[in-house]
Structure 1
Amino acid sequence: MAGVGAEPGAELRVLAPGFAQGYRQCNLHELRAREFRRLAGTVYLDHAGATLFAQSQLANFTKDLMDNVYGNPHSQNTSSKLTHDTVEQVRYRILAHFHASPEDYSVIFTAGCTAALKLVAEAFPWVSRGPESSGSHFCYLTDSHTSVVGMRKAIMAVGVTFIPVRPEDLRLAEKRGAAACDPDCQLPHLFCYPAQSNFSGTRYPLSWIAEVKAGRRSPVSTPGKWFVLLDAASYVSTSPLDLSAHQADLVPISFYKIFGFPTGLGALLVHNRVAPLLRKTYFGGGTAAAYLVGEDFYVPRSSVTERFEDGTISFLDVIAVKHGFDTLERLTGGMENIQQHTFSLARYTYTALSSLRYPNGAPVVRIYSDTEFSSPEVQGPIINFNVLDDNGDVIGYSQVDKMACLHNIHLRTGCFCNTGACQRHLQISNEMVKKHHQAGHVCGDNVDLIDGQPTGSVRISFGYMSTLEDAQAFLTFIRATWLHPAAGHTTHPAADALGRGAAQDRAAGQDTSSPSPREGTLPALAAAAVGLCPAPCEAVGAQPTTSSGAAPVPDGDLGTHVVTNIYLYPIKSCAAFEVSRWPIGKQGLLYDRSWMVVNHNGICLSQKQEPRLCLIRPFIHLQHRVMVIEAKGMEPIEVPLEESSEQAQVCQSKVCADRVNTYDCGEKISNWLSRFFGRPCHLIKQSSSFQRNAKKKHGQDQFPAATATLSLVNEAQYLLVNRSSVWELQQQLSTSNENGRQESFPMQDLISRFRANIIISGTRAFEEENWDGISVGSLHFQVVGPCHRCQMICIDQKTGQRNQDVFQKLSESRKRQVNFGVYLMHTSPDSSSPCFLSVGSQVLPVLKENVQHHDLPASEKPQDVSS
């Protein structure tokens, strides 16, 4: 790939000669350092989803609010008059930005582009189908956003026909010689198309506006008058739009797409010749000139903006728009410069990406595009693709996203609210979409492959603050991850959110020179291993997970399945607490994931956002009814195991979309955590009176999920990992250094990364995925599915440092699914006496019905305890 090691910015100056002049007040690196310091160490490539606001933009807006009093614009006092006049000035500023005069266009503020489209669907002068008329037609390009397609639900309710039009069909309409509009027929029709595809970045000709309106390019052959709705939300984020030259009738936009803030405000630009035709079906505060409460008397206000802006508009957000335009102009010099800059980055990345090949000549990516990135007139700064393996098979977008997160590269995956374009480019039929939904796939989930076929793709996009280094970092990530897997641990300046190189992570993970903290404690575990631990008081030999080997097992057949380690994680995402014998509660191991750390907004923190959570070590003391929490450089602190009557009021939190009742553990532990993390944090515990039921999933109909309850875990009560599976992964991770010496991750290092509750000594790698359940003594567990792994397995649980090798190797070896370990569930024990899980206990697996015993070697056949 040419140019990756060149002087920063050199290629950009070649690709975009006018760039330096366009960003005339400073170079881009200075702009990033001053206005976007929060991007340090981050490669943000989702500008088509939402671009970023500049620091001075927010500072100037805040200063404006602090210096002025803005009242409700519907009032008549001085502060209200100031608001009204400022809002009207912003309307003019918007029109000027799009080269539109107030004589031609009006600006209606909405809650966003989607709200603007909904307004059109409800207000357009549709004519219903009748005995002598086909009525109005609503035509839309199949490469349209969901919010456009969704308009058909509103128009179908009034008896109007909708017709999807493929891009190639509209292009051919002119060649078919569509008849000019009948001047005597005024039947209104509406055609909607995007100026830029939010899927592929394809830019459709703005000349279509005039051609469709004049009848030279007709979406369908039907008499009537055509109006054009131009969906400009994606296009105007990086390009100028001249409405004086391309006079669309209706133009919806969202401001956060242009300058990042505010996020809850959009507008509908309405041509004034169309405004009188729009019909009002609802009126809210401020829109009525007069009305009566007792009878159907209502007179709307005269201007189109006053008629359709129901209630009090979000006037402070409107004022923020003014500062957005000010900042954009001051920092960039205008949309023409932004267009040239972002397109140059996209073309550079597209050219390099499309040239990447495996050693066998197979392409590394499949790019979904209608152009060859020849000009910003036909292509926006969006690249849509899927990564392929060297056999040409698609690697699921979810796996690409997880790998990108390890490099702190922010991109987007799925179908991007554009099913039509997704179907066309990925060749997904209507029947396949329905089949995928029946299989459980919904928009926005991580089901990326079904029967080996992709359900979506990967999208990167550039904004005005994007740099050449962003593009190069992304390309380096693709090359290092898929072209040179052995070098996958190499990093670039933006690869690690903590600023630590992955090579350092590997070195830290393999440092076994220091004595193991567990040395001297194994004899204490020996008695517990054979079930000699006393009744439910203290766990004998309980230690944190820093051991270098397995706990001892009883003499006998080493080929049997035996519990070798038991871990619980009292505080979600914090370090493990290793025990040899532990009571079983209603929600799993007693006190497992009973607490979690939340930020100042009450949002649960995980190691994906805060890797240092693994450095917080909790210890449970059952006899003293306290949990002791330790961390390096901090004094130990105690937290009671149960809430007291003096505890703060119960509050609600969320875990995996489930609402849970929790209570705050107090100011003392909050201050302790806040000092450790350097930001406000709280420790909360699930309320003992709250019951969170397990969710029943596909294939679990026989499991009484309604009677199984969960703590603050994500999926299930228990997670089981097989040492044989870990050993196989360890061998795959083994590498040779420059001296030829074999190196690998220590076994215990790998085990700790998977954060399981139960570790067993198995007989075959991944045999646990063929089990339907297990029995451990009198305890019976059902296997409810594999654990789909995320980026947390890349975090060294002793240091908090990242290394992507584990995730990458697991992805390669497990056919891209990255499953490791299985979830277990059980219902509450019937016996009133305490139940315990002990190290050294024999595990008796039950095979799934579709797995035949005779397919396994005799020494590896599990015992069927159901008989």
Structure 2
Amino acid sequence: MSNNLLGNPHSESRSSRLSTAKVDDIRKRTLEFFHADPRHFDLVFVMNATAAVKLVVEALKHFPVPKTRGHDGEFIGPRLWFGHHIESHTSIVGVRELADAGQHCFESDAEVESWIRPAPCKEESDRCPGQVSKTFQVGLFAYPGQSNMTGRRLPLNWPGRLRQSEYAAHQKIFTLLDAAALASTAPLDLSDRDAAPDFTAVSFYKIFGFPDLGGLIVRRESAHILTQRPYFGGGTVEMVVCSDQPWHSRKIDRLHESLEDGTIPFHSIIGLGCALDSHRQLYGSQEQVSRHTTGLTAMLYHQLSALKHPNGTRVCMIYQDPAAQYGNSKTQGPIIAFNIQSDDGRWLRLSVLENAANEHHIHLRTGDLCNPGGLTKALGLEPWECIRNYTAGVRCGCRNILVGSKPSGVARVSLGAMSTPQDVQRFVAFIHQQYGSGKWINHPLTPPIQSAPLELRIHSVIVYPIRGCCAYWVPDDEPWNATPTGLQWDRQWCLIHLQTGEILKQKQVPRLMLVHPEIDSRRQVLRVTLHRSLMRSSILAQCVEVPLYEPEEKIISPIGRNRENSIREVWDDSRCSTAQVLLSQSPEIASFFTAALGISCTLAKFIQPLSLPEPPEGLSEQMRQVTVCRGVESPGSGSDVDSRGGIAPSGPASLISGRHRPRPIALAETLRVNVALTSKDWVGDQKWHFLRMGATLFEDGCHLARMKSMEITAEMQTPETFATTSPVVKLGWTNSGKGMAADPGEDSGCEVIRTGQVVHA
């Protein structure tokens, strides 16, 4: 480039012809690098591997088909079915949002094998898994050649076998191989055009380090599906007429010319030519790179596996697929995914590991690695746990939050052509020296118990109006009633499955955690909104409102059902008994929750308010006393700001918008506590205390509660562990003054609790 002037290839100038010639030569050499005969394959240059995937999907989604009526009178239009392997990259998984004929995640190799059957079957069963329409016009099956999380290498014979299938449905399906991870250290052999994928996405920086460029290798016999896409960009057409009678003619002589929209990155492509030369001079071939990296990875795996704490516990939890074997390049690539654990089985925060690695000039990748399916498979995370982690603050790439007993991400070591045995020894020594003693800790799970009385301040008051759904954070200026059964409106509603009559639970319906109830005390309504990810249907209302107190005359339904007919008995796990609920008779409410959750359900209200489970046996009157001072300073005072430590409470809006919430806020909701309190230790640092409120069980009107002082981490913490490990306390009030929160005009005699109150413990 320093000796030549290179011009835009879409011209006939001398500099442009030079660019075109060089690009054509590099395109041919790149195909040869993948053993792809240019007579049967073409290479389309794109920005990256994700852009290659998008090019295929957008063409399939808009593939023109005859718009006729079927035998049943239904209008047949373009319908896309999509299937993908669970270990696919996020860029592959995202295709499912365009699959209007249905989508399916194949959760194992065995499931793919059973789908690609060798013999035809009956026509009525000739359907694809997850197919929601009677038929579809075109389908796409995509999977990675190598998992970018664990490095496991998947079978490469699926495209050819699918193409040879006699099933009618299979004949409409194209295959897409994500070879971005595989091609970086393994030879990608496309010499057999009958066995090759229809489309192969590659990333050149992953192979050579430079340039930042991607490619889509297209099997020419499958190219027609791409060339009929509706969009055209500069350089892809021969003529365009701009008028009220629009017309254009596409380029058809060379496939890549009809797909490379706009000016191609010709400088980067010329850089790719230099990379091909350097790679051949340094490493010879990808076969040699594969042998080199396979040996190094086996060495690293065995040495990390041998690291143990003094008590015999393994230092590294390595996530290896049972079908993969380190040292076998056909089943395993040069990647090790792992987590560090202490001698007592606790997980090291990924942020701690990454910071230490940076200090030692070691480069790691941590987080979910843009492989959501592979991560949940390796860590054993259920869908409800993923959404719980999300509500606790875990996001893509998050490295600093642990929830419950399972990690939310992994660390990954990747070896390449330039890696050496000395690199392996250095990394193993780093892990051994930093974490092999068994003495490290992230932080104490529970701070030491302080014998001296504590003065705390209420930071936030939290209720959970609908069982299993998000919390409602009581506004700072609003007092809240402490009723004989606990905080008012706490866990007073639930969602009932209309077919089974069961109460919906988070583990069965994870989307419950994305439903946001709010108590509007002024208007006396329960308002329910949804996380933005659930607002998919155009007919779905923005919110629904339900009266907190429903007059008797409103209980009569439009179809004549009375109150007695709308009362149901349901099994309540939290009480270990049956409970009576008043089922909503509103079709609008049932439609709202059914559309949001994908399950036929409606709202119901407990007739008998729910309190905490029965107190433990042998309840002592000498238990720890916690006293709430009825007086409160002004919410706008400086002391109130200081008591928060600069952390404001976070209502539904923060989760709906997707903003990251402060860890104390997220943890309080994760543990389903009712009151978050703060105190200062002897050096002035802020400490946190959580309290879950129960019923009035004492003659003096005090409430049973569970209270725990803890560091702000969800590690090894769940609502169940909080309930079983938190000491039972006796919660009372002192000083004068009573009030009402929901009904200011009446005096119910309830105590109130609110932000800013001082608590003595």
Residue 86 of structure 1 corresponds to which residue in structure 2? 22
Residue 147 of structure 1 corresponds to which residue in structure 2? 91
Contact 1:412 1:460 in 2 (8 A): yes
Contact 1:181 1:224 in 2 (8 A): no
Contact 1:363 1:388 in 2 (8 A): yes
> 1:118 and 1:762, CA in 2 relative to 1: closer, same or farther beyond 3 A?
closer
2: CA distance, partners of 1:190 / 1:201: 24
TM-score (normalised: structure 2): 0.55
Residue 75 of structure 1 corresponds to which residue in structure 2? 11
Q: How does 1:110-259 map to 2 (within 5 A)?
A: 110-124=46-60, 125=63, 136-154=80-98, 156=99, 159-170=100-111, 172-173=113-114, 179=120, 188-215=138-165, 222=169, 224-245=171-192, 246-259=195-208
Partner deviation per Cα, 1:124-169 (whole Å, 9 max, x = no partner): 2486998668955221111100111112223x3xx33222112233
1: CA distance, partners of 2:409 / 2:648: 22
Residue 395 of structure 1 corresponds to which residue in structure 2? 348
Give the AA of the match of 1:763.
W
> 1:337 and 1:816, CA in 2 relative to 1: closer, same or farther beyond 3 A?
farther
1: CA distance, partners of 2:393 / 2:362: 28
Partner deviation per Cα, 1:579-634 (whole Å, 9 max, x = no partner): xxxxxxxxxxxxxxxxxxxxxxxxxxxxxxxxxxxxxxxxxxxxxxxxxxxxxxxx
2: CA distance, partners of 1:189 / 1:865: 63
2: CA distance, partners of 1:360 / 1:254: 44
SS of 1:273's equivalent in the other structure is helix
Report the Cα offset of residue 433 of structure 1. Answer: 1.4
Report the Cα offset of residue 699 of structure 1. Answer: 3.0
Contact 2:309 2:438 in 1 (8 A): no
Residue of structure 1 aligned with 2:236, choices 287, 310, 316: 287
Residue 468 of structure 1 pairs with residue 421 of structure 2 = yes
Give the AA of the match of 1:429.
E
Report the Cα offset of residue 365 of structure 1. Answer: 1.5
Give the AA of the match of 2:103.
F
Residue of structure 2 aligned with 1:332, choices 273, 279, 283: 283
Give the AA of the match of 1:414.
G
Report the Cα offset of residue 441 of structure 1. Answer: 1.7
1: CA distance, partners of 2:355 / 2:150: 22
Residue of structure 2 aligned with 1:319, choices 265, 270, 274: 270
Partner deviation per Cα, 1:44-90 (whole Å, 9 max, x = no partner): xxxxxxxxxxxxxxxxxxxxx11110011111110110001001011
Contact 2:145 2:155 in 1 (8 A): yes
Partner deviation per Cα, 1:480-525 (whole Å, 9 max, x = no partner): 112236899xxxxxxxxxxxxxxxxxxxxxxxxxxxxxxxxxxxxx
SS of 1:114's equivalent in the other structure is helix
SS of 1:383's equivalent in the other structure is strand
Contact 2:688 2:711 in 1 (8 A): no
Residue of structure 2 aligned with 1:105, choices 33, 38, 41: 41
Give the AA of the match of 2:417.
Y
1: CA distance, partners of 2:122 / 2:363: 48
Contact 2:335 2:415 in 1 (8 A): yes
Report the Cα offset of residue 215 of structure 1. Answer: 1.9
> 1:325 and 1:180, CA in 2 relative to 1: closer, same or farther beyond 3 A?
farther
Contact 1:181 1:215 in 2 (8 A): no
Contact 2:295 2:327 in 1 (8 A): no
Report the Cα offset of residue 308 of structure 1. Answer: 0.9
SS of 1:229's equivalent in the other structure is strand
Give the AA of the match of 2:162.
V
1: CA distance, partners of 2:106 / 2:70: 25
RMSD (Å) for aligned C-alpha atoms: 4.2
1: CA distance, partners of 2:359 / 2:730: 39
2: CA distance, partners of 1:368 / 1:131: 49
> 1:319 and 1:135, CA in 2 relative to 1: closer, same or farther beyond 3 A?
same
Contact 2:146 2:179 in 1 (8 A): yes
Structure 2: gaps (5+ residues)? 127-134, 442-452, 456-643, 653-661, 664-678, 692-708, 718-727, 733-755
Residue 372 of structure 1 pairs with residue 313 of structure 2 = no
Residue of structure 2 aligned with 1:276, choices 224, 227, 230: 224
SS of 1:363's equivalent in the other structure is coil
> 1:141 and 1:127, CA in 2 relative to 1: closer, same or farther beyond 3 A?
farther
Residue 411 of structure 1 corresponds to which residue in structure 2? 364
Report the Cα offset of residue 332 of structure 1. Answer: 0.8
2: CA distance, partners of 1:291 / 1:197: 43
Contact 2:116 2:162 in 1 (8 A): no
Residue 645 of structure 1 corresponds to which residue in structure 2? none
1: CA distance, partners of 2:402 / 2:413: 20
Residue 421 of structure 1 pairs with residue 371 of structure 2 = no
Residue 860 of structure 1 corresponds to which residue in structure 2? none
Report the Cα offset of residue 461 of structure 1. Answer: 0.4
Residue 476 of structure 2 corresponds to which residue in structure 1? none
Contact 1:356 1:363 in 2 (8 A): yes
SS of 2:239's equivalent in the other structure is strand
> 1:419 and 1:815, CA in 2 relative to 1: closer, same or farther beyond 3 A?
closer
> 1:447 and 1:864, CA in 2 relative to 1: closer, same or farther beyond 3 A?
same
> 1:467 and 1:765, CA in 2 relative to 1: closer, same or farther beyond 3 A?
farther
Partner deviation per Cα, 1:293-332 (whole Å, 9 max, x = no partner): 0122111001221111111111101110000111111111
Partner deviation per Cα, 1:811-864 (whole Å, 9 max, x = no partner): 9xx9899xxxxxxxxxxxxxxxxxxxxxxxxxxxxxxxx99999xxxxxxxx99
1: CA distance, partners of 2:53 / 2:2: 34
Residue of structure 1 aligned with 2:310, choices 355, 359, 367: 359
Contact 1:127 1:188 in 2 (8 A): no
SS of 1:137's equivalent in the other structure is strand
Contact 1:190 1:226 in 2 (8 A): yes
> 1:123 and 1:176, CA in 2 relative to 1: closer, same or farther beyond 3 A?
closer
SS of 1:394's equivalent in the other structure is coil
Residue 739 of structure 1 corresponds to which residue in structure 2? none
> 1:126 and 1:474, CA in 2 relative to 1: closer, same or farther beyond 3 A?
farther
Contact 2:403 2:716 in 1 (8 A): no
Contact 2:80 2:136 in 1 (8 A): no
Residue 775 of structure 1 corresponds to which residue in structure 2? none
Residue of structure 2 aligned with 1:483, choices 436, 442, 447: 436
Give the AA of the match of 2:257.
E
2: CA distance, partners of 1:250 / 1:175: 18
SS of 1:270's equivalent in the other structure is strand
Contact 2:117 2:165 in 1 (8 A): no
Residue of structure 2 aligned with 1:763, choices 682, 693, 696: 682
Partner deviation per Cα, 1:81-102 (whole Å, 9 max, x = no partner): 0001001011101111011111
The count of corresponding residues between Structure 1 and Structure 2 is: 466
2: CA distance, partners of 1:413 / 1:335: 27
SS of 1:460's equivalent in the other structure is strand
1: CA distance, partners of 2:390 / 2:645: 19
Give the AA of the match of 1:301.
K
2: CA distance, partners of 1:852 / 1:232: 62
Partner deviation per Cα, 1:630-669 (whole Å, 9 max, x = no partner): xxxxxxxxxxxxxxxxxxxxxxxxxxxxxxxxxxxxxxxx
SS of 2:221's equivalent in the other structure is coil
- Share of identical aligned residues, percent? 33
Give the AA of the match of 1:286.
G
Give the AA of the match of 2:262.
G
Partner deviation per Cα, 1:225-260 (whole Å, 9 max, x = no partner): 332211111100111111013421101111111111
Contact 1:232 1:252 in 2 (8 A): yes
Report the Cα offset of residue 467 of structure 1. Answer: 1.1
TM-score (normalised: structure 1): 0.49
Report the Cα offset of residue 338 of structure 1. Answer: 0.8
SS of 1:376's equivalent in the other structure is coil
Report the Cα offset of residue 430 of structure 1. Answer: 1.2
